Amino acid sequence: MSSANLTRAEAEQRSADIEVHAYDIDLDLAVAPDPGATGFASTTTITFLSAGEDVRLDFIGEAVLAVMVNGQDRDLDGLWDGSALHLTGLLPNRTNRVQVRAIAAYSRTGQGLHRFVDPVDGETYVYSHLEPADARRVFATFEQPDLKASMILHVTAPVGWSVVANQEVGSQVPVGDTALRTTFHPTPPLSTYLVAVCAGPWHHVHDLWSQRSETSPLEVPLGLWCRASLAEYLDAEELFATTRKGLDLFHDLFGFPYPWGKYDQLFAPEYNIGAMENPGCITFNEKYLFTSRPTRQELAQRAGTILHEMSHLWFGDLVTPAWWDDLWLKESFAEYMGTRAEREVGFDEAWVAFAGARKEWAASADLMPTTHPIAADIPDLEAARQNFDGITYAKGAAVLRQLVAYVGEDAFFAGARLYFTRHAFGSAQLVDLLDALEATSGRNLRAWAEQWLQTAGVDELEVVGPEPGAGPGVLRLERTSPDAARRPHRIAVGLYLPDGDGHLARVRRSELDLSGDGAVVDLSLDPLGAELRGGGPAAADVWARPHLLLPNDDDLTYALTRLDPTSRATALAGAGGMVDPLAQAQVWSALWNDVREARLPAAAYLRAVLDHGGRLDSRDEESATTVLPRLVACVGTGIADYLPEVLRAPAWADAFDGAWRRLGAARPGSDQQLAWARAVVRFGGQVGSADADVVAAGLRSLVQEPGLAGLEVGPELRWGALVALAALDRVDDEELDRALAADPTAAARAHRLTARVARPGIETKQWAWDELHRSPAVWSNEEISAALAGFAVASQRELLTGFTPGYWAGLEQVWGRFPNEIAARLVSGLFPAVNEVDPDRPAAEHEVPAAARDWLATRSAAPAALRRLVVEQADAAERAIRAQQGVLALLAGEKG
């Protein structure tokens, strides 16, 4: 194992051996604008107490220039292996002082200190992203979360630049005529992965949040930062309003005053994730600065991300998981608190979006062979990187929501306050949180934690019936579990019937506890109220009508929902018109689960989405597009992966036509109109050659003047149309270059690359393949993702079959030559797709999963993280094959 991959056992031993007191970090970024400068000077001085004479220190960079231990220079020969410095001769049981002078490397992968040049104005920006273990790419460190220490940061940067870090500026001193050295105030004890430094000619605006009381007045300076060329899109009023409301809420709920001094939020280019909770300097993906008109769903998502990161300032930053096993102690809580708080700032539909999309993300991960408990076993850093997934985030949040209901909100937040008081500025484990919650709730939570946090997999719920010997409406709820665990559920089952307007509305609900394999559900009492009295229809008639039974009504528990045949048919005919948006989101998820599990043909789901996806009425327009983007994405996946090759071309044409029809029917200027316009663009680039000319004409009419009334055609939609036209081979380089000249932004540059690679020619694909495999990478992280999007156009899979042998032969080289973040994108993004299937051949024996199985069998020594990615991709391929075989079997039955 490479020394870069620190194990949990090594971290535990180091934690037992040392106590870190302080870091003094000095970074010289004065020549960062020079493209020839590949690295920067990094000097780190660490003061710590050591029980022994030896210790490992972590650093990954270009060079180590000097190491001094307690004032004595050390011979560098054999001291550094490229990832770790092995120090000896420390003073046992005494304070030691180590200084490392080194050259760290600028990054283009979004890891470490990322450098970006704005194509609009040529300005250079750098920012750090260090989670989970990339602080060592910026300064020498003990790279593990429980070894917290106070940090003093000094940054030398060009005159005219602003430097933002975790604390406020303490002093600034000129360095010659061209640079300025900024020293920041010391931080409270902080994990190394939470250190932040962002430097460049940022545009910034400021405000103040305050909470005043007789005993502890609190004032927190607020700042918003972005690239100068994006200044017009920094909607400061909206962003500050969300920030203030969130701070008000968490100040009251957590009972622990905001502990980090200032509150800066910086929007960074080419950011790998949505955001990062660096205390005092939260960094966000700048895609949250909308250069095109956002939908309400996008505004809600941004607010949720802001509040998610804000809650981390307590859950994760104030109290940090001791090791990545307890990653859920921060991410699950932040996911739950962010969604809960989203409602408090004006987005009442937050839990609808959670049920319709985030829980689906969790279930997808939980159905894989690589599923893991929420409180997972993380043996090393590579494993930690891969557990930032749907289980840790969304499943964890769903389970926490159940815990809050179980112990009560008052007891839950009293427990959180006790947890913060006991472990402030330190680290904690699962048992520490349970102790606090048990103290405030009076409940024994060990069994709950074992059942929900320490077991893997997801239960599936289905209503069957009627219960033998019972009358109409007395049914049975059955649970299917992936293992012997019997997780307790509090469940509601709802009965939905069409109302006077034809919309499905709930008329009966029963709530119960489920601890075994099944339970009786009684929905027999007056499902239609007065209609059943005074000579109305018999109760049995209700069950003969189209109706829908929804297990887990109101989304009380974490489980998959399986609809019975009548309910599935009712949902396919009218789920989009359900009166309750939460129930609607759950029903769409249930239908998608049936597609994924080969119980429902993808074409049936496609027809339902195109007929009534999104609410059909206007009683709740604010929720109109909450789940619609997810439905559109599922349609795309359904056609590409779950329909056999013979049906894909007509299905793409149907999807385009259906989206165009819904677009025409949408209210001008509405979110529905914009969502369906995006769907038109998404589906248009996939149609076959027979329809290409007609579709291309439609795409051009969509984004050119005069266009559709009320539709704002921004850069996102315009470039989406150009990418689709490129996939249809209906746009040339000259037109794309003109578009880039008119919009010379970084986002446009990425779109231009996607369009180039999306062209349906083997020469184009070969060029992209070669460029993607060049090391060091010729493209940044954002550009690699853009190229992968163009390479893997779903309708062009036949072009890509020739790359399959090279994929399997080069996997380990890819993993070894690229940083993990980029390697993982390449491994997943270039994984061979399933094209044609044999209906009579077991799924596991088809070419793609068989090749994966062979590779795994002969590469037992390959890194565990790489093997996990291959296992997951192979599982997805088998799932696709089974779904396609199911459709082929139906076709064969119809012909027979």
Tokens of 381: 């850093």
Domain-located, residue 514: no
| Active-site hit among 270, 309, 342, 349 | 309
Domain-located, residue 135: yes
What torsion, rounded to 10 degrees, do the Cα atoms 142, 144, 147, 151 define? 60
The secondary structure of 423-435 as a DSSP string is: HTTEEE-HHHHHH
Cα atoms in the 13 Å half-sphere on the side-chain side of 448: 20
Asked which of 201, 227, 244 is the last residue of a domain, the reply is 201
Domain-located, residue 64: yes
Range of the domain at 139: 1-201
309 catalytic, yes or no? yes
Tokens of 27: 């970074």
Report which of 501, 478, 484, 635 is spatially closest to residue 559, judged by C-alpha positions.
478
Asked which of 201, 222, 253 is the last residue of a domain, the reply is 201
Look at the pTM and tell me if it is higher than 0.85.
yes
Domain-located, residue 150: yes
CA distance 193 to 146: 11
pLDDT tens, position by position, 211-247: 876 667 899 999 999 999 999 999 999 999 999 999 9
Contacts of 138 (CB under 8 A, 6+ apart): 25, 27, 42, 104, 112, 113, 128, 130, 195, 197
pLDDT for residue 610: 96
**Which burial class, exposed, middle or buried, applies to 687 when counting CB atoms under 10 A from its CB (0-12, 13-18, 19+)?**
buried
Domain-located, residue 395: yes
Contacts of 401 (CB under 8 A, 6+ apart): 336
pLDDT for residue 319: 98
Q: What is the CATH number of the domain that holds 382?
A: 1.10.390.10
Task: State how many domains the chain has.
Answer: 2
pLDDT for residue 618: 47
Helix or strand run (H / E) with residue 629: helix 628-642
CA distance 693 to 705: 19
pLDDT for residue 621: 61
Residue 753 identity (one-letter amino acid):
L
pLDDT for residue 623: 65
If asked whether residues 154 and 9 sit together in one domain, one would say yes
Q: Is 588 helix (H, G, I), strand (E, B) or coil?
A: helix
If you search the block for the tokens 């194990």, which residue do you land on? 7
Tokens of 150: 């106070």
Q: What is the CATH number of the domain that holds 77?
A: 2.60.40.1730
Give ∠ CA 252-303-306 in degrees, rounded to 5: 65
Pairing relationship of beta strands 263-268 and 281-285 according to DSSP bridges: parallel
Asked which of 427, 452, 477 is the last residue of a domain, the reply is 452
pLDDT for residue 479: 93
pLDDT for residue 778: 87
In contact, 818 and 827? CB cutoff 8 Å: no
CA distance 268 to 289: 10
Tokens of 45: 């001085």
CA distance 143 to 3: 12
CA distance 776 to 787: 16
CA distance 812 to 808: 9
Report which of 333, 354, 332 is spatially closest to residue 343, judged by C-alpha positions.
354
Spans of the chain below 70 pLDDT: 1-2, 213-215, 467, 469-470, 484-485, 525-540, 616-624, 895-896
Domain-located, residue 165: yes
Query: Which residues are registered as beta bridge partners of 620?
Result: none
Domain-located, residue 225: no
Q: What are the strands, taking DSSP E only, across 7-93?
A: 18-28, 39-50, 55-58, 63-69, 72-73, 84-87
If asked whether residues 197 and 340 sit together in one domain, one would say no
Tokens of 519: 């339970």
Tokens of 776: 């060091």
In contact, 835 and 801? CB cutoff 8 Å: yes
Domain-located, residue 86: yes
Report which of 705, 732, 614 is spatially closest to residue 662, judged by C-alpha positions.
614
If asked whether residues 7 and 153 sit together in one domain, one would say yes
Contacts of 214 (CB under 8 A, 6+ apart): none
Q: Is 504 helix (H, G, I), strand (E, B) or coil?
A: strand
